[in-house]
Structure 1
Amino acid sequence: MNELIEKINASYEALKADAELQAEKGNKAAGTRARKASLDLEKLLKEFRKASLETSKA
């Protein structure tokens, strides 16, 4: 579970950095990376939800 949380934090930081670059400097490549990071983050959050439910049932 801790490893999953670390992956979520890393993905969020990547998203945040690229989104800021796109917003502040208009960097199109950063926008593409931010969108990809958002999809990765979505998958990780779904995994977290499953793991959290399993942990609460135990």
Structure 2
Amino acid sequence: MKELIEKITAEFENFKTEADAQAEKGNKAAGTRARKSTLALEKMLKEFRKTSLEATK
């Protein structure tokens, strides 16, 4: 589970960097990369939820 949390943290940092580039500099390609990161984060967060629920049983 620790490895999954590290992956989520790294992906969120990537998202933050790309989203900031789009918002501050108007970089359209960064916006595309940020949206791609959100899809990856969604999958990882669902996996975290599943893993977390199993761990509490």
Report the alpha carbon displacement of residue 12 of structure 1 after superposing the two structures with TM.
0.2
For structure 2, the 5+ residue unaligned runs are none
- Are 2:31 and 1:35 equivalent residues in the alignment? no
Question: How many percent of aligned residue pairs carry the same amino acid?
Answer: 70
For structure 1, the 5+ residue unaligned runs are none
> Which aligned segments of 4 or more residues in structure 1 are displaced greater than 3 angstroms?
none
Equivalent residues in 2 for 1:1-58 (5 A)? 1-57=1-57
Taking structure 2 as the reference length, what is the TM-score of the superposition? 0.99
Equivalent residue pairs, number: 57
